[in-house]
Chain A
């Protein structure tokens, strides 16, 4: 028992620390509640101990226990459903919604993080079992750093160039650069948009990026993230100042406009650069043969 105790402690500890580090409450405002944190930390702890116990079960060797552990790992699939359900429910009461693509992305990340925790615990446990406990101090940080690096996906700044764009009106049509956004009927709203509105142009760097930005889910994610930080002047029953992103049908770039509570164009550009590329919206034209051929 004594020898396994160290394996268990080291592995569970490493896994749990990894979960704590991966659990960031950032601008996406999720999870921002103490209960949400607790739920994920508790599940992270369970995941870490699963990984730890697996090492001991194999070392014993007790293969029945290993089989049961595999069954237990299936439970983590539920996390995705849980997250998806919560976020979809919350979506109904949001003025600016995240969109299902973003929710699916977040849910997947939460599920995947638990597998990373299991993996960290498993490897750390194995290292301690094979050599001695001080090696855990080397293995655990490497694994933690690796999983942080692995799980940080691409952001919009990687796939597109973002620049400030001019907002103008052609009659009643709101234009950002040369793209028509919508028809604004009331003169007072037009003035407000001209005075306080901010516009940017998002130019994709290649065909994959263009397809990514095409997807409404990705656009909703951009709109949500910007509005979540800078605020938006849309209100219930007053949809006239709704931020929107439209593409130039011929040139393929996206324009985005928002009437924000905090009108600061530079920060807006920085925020858009940091919006994650949604997994399910990611374009992959260039990985197909004909896609590459058609691109040039």
Chain B
């Protein structure tokens, strides 16, 4: 049987590290909006996840 990670945050991509702390997944710091979206797109494609926008400069990649 295949075991997968589901309903879990796989990565956090942020413009501001102060807004994120701890957690069980990697945090990526982006310099600007463009890098933020690009990094999250790549991470989503690699992990097969979905990008969600928390609308405070933080994007998360989740798997559902």
If the complex has contacts A171-B55, A172-B55, are A185 and B45 also in contact, measured as CB distance less than 8 A?
no
Q: For the complex, what is the distance from the CA of A83 to the CA of B52, rounded to whole Å?
A: 39
Interface residues of B in 32-64 (CB under 8 A from A): 37, 40-41, 44-45, 48-53, 55, 59-60, 64
User: Chain B contacts of A189 at CB under 8 A?
Assistant: 51
Nearest Cβ on chain B to A197's Cβ, whole angstroms? 15
Stretch of A25-33, A154-162, A236-244 on the interface side: A236-244
State whether A184 touches B53 (Cβ < 8 A).
yes
Interface residues of A in 184-227 (CB under 8 A from B): 184-189
State whether A171 touches B53 (Cβ < 8 A).
yes
Nearest Cβ on chain B to A259's Cβ, whole angstroms? 14
If the complex has contacts A172-B52, A239-B50, are A185 and B59 also in contact, measured as CB distance less than 8 A?
yes
Nearest Cβ on chain A to B37's Cβ, whole angstroms? 6
Interface size on A, as a range, is 10 to 19
Nearest Cβ on chain A to B61's Cβ, whole angstroms? 8
Q: For the complex, what is the distance from the CA of A172 to the CA of B52, rounded to whole Å?
A: 8
User: Chain B contacts of A238 at CB under 8 A?
Assistant: 45, 48
If the complex has contacts A237-B45, A238-B45, are A185 and B51 also in contact, measured as CB distance less than 8 A?
yes
Q: For the complex, what is the distance from the CA of A189 to the CA of B41, rounded to whole Å?
A: 10
Which of A182, A185, A236 has a CB less than 8 Å from the CB of B40?
Answer: A185
User: Chain B contacts of A171 at CB under 8 A?
Assistant: 53, 55
Q: For the complex, what is the distance from the CA of A188 to the CA of B48, rounded to whole Å?
A: 17
Which of A182, A183, A184, A237 has the largest number of chain B CB atoms within 10 A?
A183
If the complex has contacts A239-B50, A239-B64, are A186 and B55 also in contact, measured as CB distance less than 8 A?
no
User: Chain B contacts of A172 at CB under 8 A?
Assistant: 52-53, 55
Q: For the complex, what is the distance from the CA of A185 to the CA of B9, rounded to whole Å?
A: 13
Which of B50, B53, B55 has a CB less than 8 Å from the CB of A240?
Answer: B50
If the complex has contacts A238-B45, A240-B44, are A186 and B64 also in contact, measured as CB distance less than 8 A?
no
Q: For the complex, what is the distance from the CA of A185 to the CA of B60, rounded to whole Å?
A: 8
State whether A237 touches B48 (Cβ < 8 A).
yes
19 contacts between A and B (CB under 8 A): A171-B53, A182-B50, A183-B53, A184-B53, A185-B40, A185-B50, A185-B52, A185-B53, A186-B37, A186-B44, A187-B37, A236-B48, A237-B45, A238-B45, A238-B48, A239-B48, A239-B49, A239-B64, A240-B50
10 residue pairs, one from A and one from B, having the closest CB atoms: A185-B51, A172-B53, A237-B48, A185-B53, A183-B52, A185-B52, A186-B51, A185-B59, A171-B55, A240-B50
